[in-house]
Amino acid sequence: MNFWNNPLWPEAASKDAAAHDKLFFTITGLSVFFTVLVCVLVTVLAVKYRRGTKADRTNPIDHSTKLEVLWTGVPLILALGTFVWSARLFVENRDMDRDAMDVFVVGKQWMWHLQHMDGTRENNELHLPVGQPVKMTMISQDVIHAMYLPAFRAQYHVVPGRYTELQFTPTKPGSYRMLCAMHCGTHHSEMVGWVHVMEADEFAEWKEANGDKNRPKAGSVIEAGKMVFEDKNCGSCHTGENNVKGPSLYGIMGEQRSLANGQTVAVDNDYLRLSIIDPTSQIVEGYDKTMPSYSSLTEEDILALNAYVKSLGNAGDLVPFERPGAPVPPTATAPDSSTDTANRTASPSTTQTEDEIQ
């Protein structure tokens, strides 16, 4: 399946591809239409009124409100229409699907490094089951790259120092190009790979056959994170409860944090990453600058640590053990669980109010 032989158009192999193609063709069509219209008018009028022709030059029109409204109004409506259309597609596509299958991506000069949540690693290749929404969490180890999957009409920058996300749903089995769309150095053009979309049972077989070969000893990403956590002795300060040495990391993913400087921030992958490599940048309220910096950890170790922290009592996820001292969650009775979760995880040493949590 090599679409280089057909340079005009890559295959449409994702859920959003058709909608994006429609928009793309509409914008291209409009541009071609107006370009041709203006070119033809310029040529015809230039020829007709060139010096020396006998064209009728009596009563030259110097103003026509009707014409002006027409040539301002029509393009305005068309432009606003395409704006609303594309903005809606964009917002829909950037609204991340929480139930999507997670894939971690690290870009580096000049290769793509991909990891499935069960720990299976791949380089410049990614195997996916058909019909399954996929969410990539991506970061670069060096310069700016861009994950570009033309057949899925998906592209997003992969930058050092912060996570970006990309989601798509492959709809057709086959092999499709994975490219880097950001000029990232000498061998940028070689930073290419393949996405292999397979039927669900084939994918399961592939996992079975290749999992062991590619899987690190630690097993899943969460287990790998746990290994780093134990290796670096994070647990000497972070236990299941807030204590004098450090705050509990249980259930913090997705919650709000009050900082010593009075700010409130949301705990997400970026916050966790910063807390680990540069702890003094954001001090949790009630604590001092006692956590050492772990800036020497690799991006992969940090991604694994994040996955591990997220697994610690995040509602609906893997819960290794009950948070000590946590009140029994009112699962059956409380349909509006947002404040309950916040209350459960609000730490005794910080003074979060209901307002801050919102």
Q: Of 148 and 287, which has the nearer Cβ to Cu ion?
A: 148
284 binds Cu ion (CB under 5 A): no
Neighbours of 140 (CB within 10 A): 23
Neighbours of 121 (CB within 10 A): 17
Residue 257 binding result from Cu ion, ligand HEC, none, given CB thresholds of 5 to 8 Å by partner type: ligand HEC
249 binds ligand HEC (CB under 6 A): yes
147 binds Cu ion (CB under 5 A): no
20 binds ligand HEC (CB under 6 A): no
DSSP E strand boundaries for the chain: 101-108, 111-116, 121-123, 125-129, 134-140, 145-149, 154-158, 164-168, 174-180, 193-198, 256-258, 264-266
Residue 294 binding result from Cu ion, ligand HEC, none, given CB thresholds of 5 to 8 Å by partner type: ligand HEC
At 207, the amino acid letter reads K
Residue 184 binding result from ligand HEC, Cu ion, none, given CB thresholds of 5 to 8 Å by partner type: Cu ion
Binding mask 304-323 for ligand HEC (x = CB under 6 A): -x---x--------------
| Shortest spacing between CB 229 and ligand HEC, in angstroms | 6
Residue 253 binding result from ligand HEC, Cu ion, none, given CB thresholds of 5 to 8 Å by partner type: none
Residue 291 binding result from Cu ion, ligand HEC, none, given CB thresholds of 5 to 8 Å by partner type: ligand HEC
Kindly state the helix (H) or strand (E) to which residue 193 belongs, with its residue range. strand 193-198
Six-digit token pair at 67?
């014409």
135 binds ligand HEC (CB under 6 A): no
Q: Where do we find the tokens 């994950």?
A: 147
Six-digit token pair at 106?
């690290």
Which one-letter DSSP state was computed for residue 284?
A: B
Q: Of 131 and 160, which has the nearer Cβ to Cu ion?
A: 160
Question: 295 Cβ partners below 8 Å, 6+ apart?
Answer: 277, 278
Q: Of 1 and 283, which has the nearer Cβ to ligand HEC?
A: 283
77: left (phi over 0), alpha (psi -120 to 50) or beta: alpha
- Please give the residue ranges that form the binding site for ligand HEC (CB under 6 A): 229, 232-234, 236-238, 245-247, 249, 252, 257, 267, 272, 275-276, 279, 282-284, 287, 290-291, 294, 305, 309
